[in-house]
Amino acid sequence: MSVETTNRPGTEPAVAEVGRGMRFTNWAAGYVDERFKLSGWIRDYGRKIFPDHWSFMLGEVALYSLIVVLLSGTFLTFFFQASMVHVTYEGSYVPLKDIGMSAAMASTLDISFDVRGGLLVRQIHHWAALLFVASIGLHMLRVFFTGAFRKPRELNWLLGFTLFVLAMAEGFTGYSLPDDLLSGNGLRIIDGMVKGIPIVGTWISYLLFGGEFPGTTVVGVFYSLHILLLPAILVAIVGIHVIMVFVNKHTQYAGPGRTNDNVVGVPVMPVFAAKAGGFFFIVFGVIVLVAANVTINPIWNYGPYDPSPVSAGTQPDWYIGFADGMLRLIPPGWEIVLFGYTLSLNILVPTLILVTFLALVALYPFFEAWVTGDKRHHNIADRPRNAPMRTAIGAAGVTFYAVMWAAASSDLMATHFKLSIEGVIHALQFLLIFGPIIAFFVARRICIALQKKDREIALHGFESGRIVRMPGGEYVEVHQPLSDYERWRLVSYEDYKPLMVRPDKHGRISPIQRFRAGISRLFFEDRIAPVTKTELEQSTHH
Amino acid sequence: MADHGSSPGNAVERRDIPVDAPGTAVVTTDAIENPGFPPYRPRVSDVDPKKERANERRVAWFFWASIVGSVFAIVAYFAFPIVAEDPGSVRLNNAFLGLGIALALFGIGFGAVHWSRTIMEGHDLVEDRNAGHPPEEKYAKRAGAGEVFTLGNKESGFTRRKLIRNSLIGALVVSPLPAVVLFRGLAPDEDPVPLLKHTMWREGMRLARDPDGTPIRASDVTIGSVFQVIPEALNDLEHDKLEQKAKAAVLLMRLKPEDLKVSPGREDWNYDGIVAYSKICTHVGCPVALYEQQTHHLLCPCHQSEFDIKEEAKVIFGPAARPLPQLPITIDDEGYLIARSDFTEPVGPSFWERSL
């Protein structure tokens, strides 16, 4: 597959001019290369091409906000005391003066009120963490809806998924560290959920809290997880994730000149480095600007943890919302006692639903590959409309998540819109089951309709809005034909047919084959084939 | 791609390179052909040297602004110190320090991006995905790697000597177990189950206000009122105060005695319409803090379980499965409310051994 690229310069090596200013650089480069042997690597990858599209920015935002989280978190460790030793607060914040609390809470207050810039860094850390999880989520949606998880990138999808889970774990452990009223309530909920685990739940809770809840060790345990174990795993996986993007080269969207076998874009040195490097500073700048102006997690308003008080509208940070919401959607009375042992179905069922949902997200690439049987490399990202079934499944998944997420604010929705809590929950329970089904069919129909429109435009051009009266009195609208470049975007996509079941060499059709054929029919029965050359010729001749 | 590396008649070079199957994808010969790259559209700075110089100056301005921002942040650090007991000073320190740092970062960021977009070479470049890695090489490499494993297997007898192999796998599987066991040390040696089944309430212990610990007279509790209650002895505890409070917190309410539905065996658990229920939700343990006077419903603010106090805290809505445990109460000879005993069932969220 060779492509005509004459009207663009190729990747001819740029020859650096050796001026006087370069002499030191050359000497230094030579010195390093004699010892580290890096020049081959730079020769091979220094001009590596990165395709450009706004949606590729989401993963970058995730990476950069992670760097900001690491930087700001490191600063916080210099001042934070991960201890639940009981102290009396003596700092500058008057309303809490002389109140007993843990050293963790007191040192967090000191960071906020007695360390200059401490509040800023704390807020940078929290905002950057929120941005980290949010951008991972959006990045995953982008990868999902454009099919960028297909071979050879399925395993990288799994790594990315693991990062999403780790990011939530990091968020939750970090949220718990200040030992304020809200974080303590979050831990209380985790304790209740852990105790719901059959057989080992009581003991896991006992080990986690170093005795009975709340105990005096959980902040220390979570601190180890939050600043050592989880970040080590997270950073290692991020490293592999990014290296895999490097190795497999980035996907690109279909466009004139772009093929499955090339990469079109800007070279690392200098354009991508400047753009991406600059973008890191912009992301950092936005986070700092928000942190300088918008308060987040004002623990001084909540006070230290106490098992008795709690305020209405209690909510976790937004990314844990879907789990909290799922807990709220269970109807009353789901608990059974079997042979004297208590099974908390009101905890187990939602947990199982969450785990299954996440497992489906993680495994979808393998499912789709099994349905299509396609073993080729896919380096061209799909437009979502050109994979109606995938887009519909994604829309159903998003809806399911959104309903769980909304349920975490059921009480706030009720108070803000003057509804009854029961009514909100019942509506959400209904939507949890039927919302995804509706979203599925609506998304699928929209995709197919858009494909039909694309096909129409590819064949007959745009509607120009210009009405012409023919000599016979007939009115027609003049269509503006597309250029070859414009048309290419509309006609270059993968097309699949439903699987035909055929007997194997023993003359049998296995049930698995039948099942796969059924799924395949569901996927590809309604399909809009891309416009072919013959069709295009016919349409231009009549 | 199918005919890579094979030429008929040359047996040495002949190697079957598998072609990735397209599955159910439609592979058509009638597809519209890729039209190739459209012509490059030059930017203003490509054609107008004046604009190019203007952009150059603009980039430099961004970088200068960044330096200003950094200096401003350092100045703000000293110019806006935190004054003890003045929350306003924290706000100023936070805002100006943050603005300075944000300016410093934005200057670098926008400068670099502007440079790359308007001044640096604007052409898209093309790179062959498989450049330097032809499929032949991929399969040759794979064959080489396979050979290494085959040799390794042959020389060690890894698959042939099953006894060694299986015992090694066994040893590797068992070896991390001691590390897991070491984590047992996180919790005390005591069995947690009895701890979960008891609270510090005892016969005769006075009900006291949370948090100051002053005892409550029955006459203080008017109809419709609600008290956040702790055991009177709680504040005297030295070290496990929060653990005990997390189990013993109680809500005290007074209803008209005729409004209360009392089941057999609980007739003397309330005192003249005053009832005490555990404040710890039976769902996942949040404090059930919201009392609705009119309906006598308790609402848990975490997951919206509702309990009906008229019907012995029965669950009427939400994910909780069991009623809130009731604390049997009466009064002592001075008129203070006291517990008749501990709770008669474990409080808080369910656990595996709860009913044993």
CA distance A88 to A97: 8
Query: CB-CB: which of B186, B187, B321 is closest to A334?
Result: B321
Q: Which residues of A touch B230 (CB under 8 A)?
A: 308
pLDDT for the residue A274: 95
How many domains, in total, are found in chain A? Answer: 3
Indicate if A411 and A523 belong to the same structural domain: yes
Judge: A203–B192 Cβ closer than 8 Å, yes or no.
Answer: yes
In this structure, is residue A452 part of a structural domain? yes
What would the pLDDT profile of B67-113 be if each residue is shown by its tens digit? 999 999 999 999 999 888 788 899 999 999 999 999 999 999 999 99
Judge: B353–A342 Cβ closer than 8 Å, yes or no.
Answer: yes
Q: Which residues of A touch B93 (CB under 8 A)?
A: 116-117, 119-120
Which amino acid would we find at residue A67? Answer: I
Q: Which chain A residue has its CA at the smallest distance from B2's CA?
A: A1
Judge: B243–A214 Cβ closer than 8 Å, yes or no.
Answer: yes
Judge: B349–A195 Cβ closer than 8 Å, yes or no.
Answer: yes
Judge: B37–A374 Cβ closer than 8 Å, yes or no.
Answer: no
Query: CB-CB: which of A112, A372, A421 is closest to B24?
Result: A372
Q: Which chain A residue has its CA at the smallest distance from B317's CA?
A: A332
How far does A335 lie from chain B, in Å, by closest CA? 6
- Best mutation target among B277, B303, B347, B353 (most A Cβ atoms within 10 Å) is B303
Q: Which chain A residue has its CA at the smallest distance from B290's CA?
A: A312
Indicate if A444 and A298 belong to the same structural domain: no
Indicate if A94 and A20 belong to the same structural domain: no
pLDDT for the residue A16: 53
Judge: B97–A342 Cβ closer than 8 Å, yes or no.
Answer: no
Check if the beta carbon of residue B306 is closer than 8 Å to that of residue B317.
Answer: yes
pLDDT for the residue B148: 95
In this structure, is residue A149 part of a structural domain? yes
Judge: B285–A491 Cβ closer than 8 Å, yes or no.
Answer: no
In this structure, is residue A126 part of a structural domain? yes
pLDDT for residue B18 is more than 80: no
Residues belonging to chain A: 542
Query: Residue B327: which region, alpha, beta or left (left: phi > 0; alpha: psi -120 to 50)?
Result: beta
Q: Which residues of A touch B278 (CB under 8 A)?
A: none
pLDDT for the residue A200: 93
pLDDT for the residue A226: 97
Q: Which residues of A touch B200 (CB under 8 A)?
A: none
Q: Of the residues A248, A274, A307, which one is the last residue of a structural domain?
A: A307
pLDDT for the residue A540: 75
CA distance A537 to B202: 92
Give backbone dihedrals phi and psi of B203, rounded to 5 degrees, phi first.
-60, 130
In this structure, is residue A273 part of a structural domain? yes
- Taking the model in full, what pTM does it have? 0.92
CA distance A214 to A67: 32
Q: Which chain A residue has its CA at the smallest distance from B132's CA?
A: A44
Judge: A202–B196 Cβ closer than 8 Å, yes or no.
Answer: yes
Indicate if A144 and A184 belong to the same structural domain: yes
Indicate if A135 and A269 belong to the same structural domain: yes
Q: Which CATH class is domain B195-339?
A: mainly beta
A368's CB contacts (< 8 A; 6+ apart) are A147, A150, A390
pLDDT for the residue B15: 52
Judge: A335–B321 Cβ closer than 8 Å, yes or no.
Answer: yes
Which amino acid would we find at residue A517? Answer: A
Indicate if A394 and A297 belong to the same structural domain: no
User: A317: which DSSP letter?
Assistant: -
In this structure, is residue A3 part of a structural domain? no
What would the pLDDT profile of B155-207 be if each residue is shown by its tens digit? 999 999 999 999 999 999 999 999 999 999 999 998 999 999 999 999 999 99
- Best mutation target among A11, A185, A195, A432 (most B Cβ atoms within 10 Å) is A195
CA distance A265 to A49: 6
How far does A166 lie from chain B, in Å, by closest CA? 21
Q: Which chain A residue has its CA at the smallest distance from B181's CA?
A: A207
In this structure, is residue A350 part of a structural domain? no
A226's CB contacts (< 8 A; 6+ apart) are A170, A173, A174, A177
Judge: A285–B115 Cβ closer than 8 Å, yes or no.
Answer: no
pLDDT for the residue A15: 53
CA distance A484 to B38: 9
How far does B247 lie from chain A, in Å, by closest CA? 8
List the domain range (segments joined by +) for residue A22.
16-45
Q: Where are the alpha helices (DSSP H) in chain B?
A: 44-47, 49-79, 87-118, 135-156, 162-174, 177-182, 192-197, 241-248
How far does A231 lie from chain B, in Å, by closest CA? 21
In this structure, is residue A374 part of a structural domain? no
Q: Of the residues A260, A292, A307, which one is the last residue of a structural domain?
A: A307
Query: CB-CB: which of B31, B120, B283 is closest to A274?
Result: B120
Judge: B125–A281 Cβ closer than 8 Å, yes or no.
Answer: no
In this structure, is residue A224 part of a structural domain? yes
How far does A431 lie from chain B, in Å, by closest CA? 17
Judge: B21–A374 Cβ closer than 8 Å, yes or no.
Answer: yes
Judge: B186–A496 Cβ closer than 8 Å, yes or no.
Answer: no
Indicate if A129 and A269 belong to the same structural domain: yes
Query: CB-CB: which of B36, B82, B301 is closest to A314?
Result: B301
- pLDDT digit of tens for each residue in chain A (542 aa)? 334 444 444 444 455 556 667 788 888 888 999 999 888 888 888 889 999 999 999 999 999 999 999 999 999 999 999 999 999 999 889 999 999 999 999 999 999 999 999 999 999 999 999 999 999 999 999 999 999 999 999 999 999 999 999 999 999 999 999 999 999 999 999 999 999 999 999 999 999 999 999 999 999 999 999 999 999 999 999 999 999 999 899 999 999 999 999 999 999 989 999 999 999 999 999 999 999 999 999 999 999 999 888 777 778 889 999 999 999 999 998 999 999 999 999 999 999 999 999 999 999 999 999 999 999 999 999 999 999 999 999 999 999 999 999 999 998 999 999 999 999 999 999 999 999 999 999 999 999 999 999 999 999 888 888 999 999 999 988 888 889 999 999 999 989 999 988 888 888 888 988 999 999 999 999 889 999 989 888 887 65
Indicate if A20 and A101 belong to the same structural domain: no
